[in-house]
Amino acid sequence: MFRTADPAAEDSPFRWLLSINPLPSRKAFAEGGLLSHLHFQYANDLHTLVATDEATVAETLRNPRWYTAMCSNEGTTEDRCAIIRALHHLQ
């Protein structure tokens, strides 16, 4: 999770950025798999991204959907598009 330290970004929709670790491993592409990529969510405030249960203090995502946009440098445009097709279960 990242938060900008720039005071001028107080009203920015990208003030908070939450990311999962990149997947699959980079060697998976060489073996016929998808390019390594990461998924992320962003918001102006942490409360928009994460809900906290007051009783247990457990944190959960408010929205289970992740954006995918960052891919490793290997491969072609077609390889990058394969990530989106896989995400949406398209042929």
Using the predicted structure, report yes or no on whether residue 13 has a pLDDT greater than 80: yes
pLDDT given at position 21: 87
The parent domain of residue 67 ranges over 2-87
The verdict on whether omega for the bond into residue 24 sits within 30 degrees of 0, i.e. cis, is yes
**pLDDT at residue 87 above 90?**
no
Sheet strands (E) in the chain: 2-3, 16-19, 37-43, 50-52, 59-61, 67-71
- Cα dihedral angle (29, 74, 40, 9), rounded to 10 degrees? 170
> Where do the H-state alpha helices sit in 2-90?
26-30, 46-49, 77-87
The pLDDT assigned to 90 comes to 84
- Total number of domains in the chain: 1
